[in-house]
Amino acid sequence: MIRRGGLLAAALVAACAHGASGGQGAEVPGDCAINLSGTWQQEGNVGLRYDASDDGQVLRLVPHRVNADGSPVAQDANVGGIAMELRREPHQVTGEFRMPVETDPDQSCPLLFQVKLNACAPDRLVLEIDRIYAVNPACAPIDLGPIGRGEQVLVRVK
């Protein structure tokens, strides 16, 4: 069961499921060496944005919901703990997508997905997110089997 913060968490999981990618990721193009800091938006969803910070080694993407005018949705102010952190390594940019999910009023379980940056350009990122498990109310992982990979495309806002 998902409670507080669950709307953003559910939106992010659904976003990861959109547009499953069937191919194996190739080497990351040299364009991924550029500074990717800034504000990014999920392609096709103006209500989901990511604040990105990039120090040349680590790319950190923190999601938040926004209204149609770009102002933050008030309910997201206290979500916290949801972020993607990717590290640049030779020939790839990979990392983790961490998201706490409240299973009971006093219990929060961490969800962890593996993330890979498959392509980038100054105004577009293509992320592949492996969704392989969920958690039960006791925070024990439940293997979902090979349910596939989710591809998420982000476009630069500013």
Q: Can you point out the beta strands (E) in the chain?
A: 38-42, 48-54, 58-65, 83-89, 92-104, 107-121, 124-130, 133-135, 141-143, 149-156
What pLDDT was estimated at residue 28?
A: 52
pLDDT confidence of residue 105: 77
pLDDT, residue 149, reads: 66
Q: 22: burial class by Cβ within 10 Å (0-12, 13-18, 19+)?
A: exposed
User: Taking a C-beta distance cutoff of 8 angstroms, is the pair 128, 14 a contact?
Assistant: no
pLDDT tens per residue, the chain (158 residues)?
Answer: 333 344 344 344 444 433 333 334 445 556 788 899 999 999 999 898 999 999 999 999 999 888 888 888 877 654 567 899 999 988 889 999 888 877 777 777 777 888 999 998 999 999 998 876 667 777 777 766 656 568 899 999 96
Name the phi and psi angles at 6, rounded to 5.
-70, -30
pTM flag (> 0.85): no
Domains, the chain, in order of start with CATH, read 6-156 (2.40.128)
Q: Distance between CA 141 and CA 158 in Å, rounded?
A: 38
Q: Is the dihedral of CA 36, 38, 44, 48 positive or negative?
A: positive
Beta carbons of 102 and 2 less than 8 angstroms apart: yes
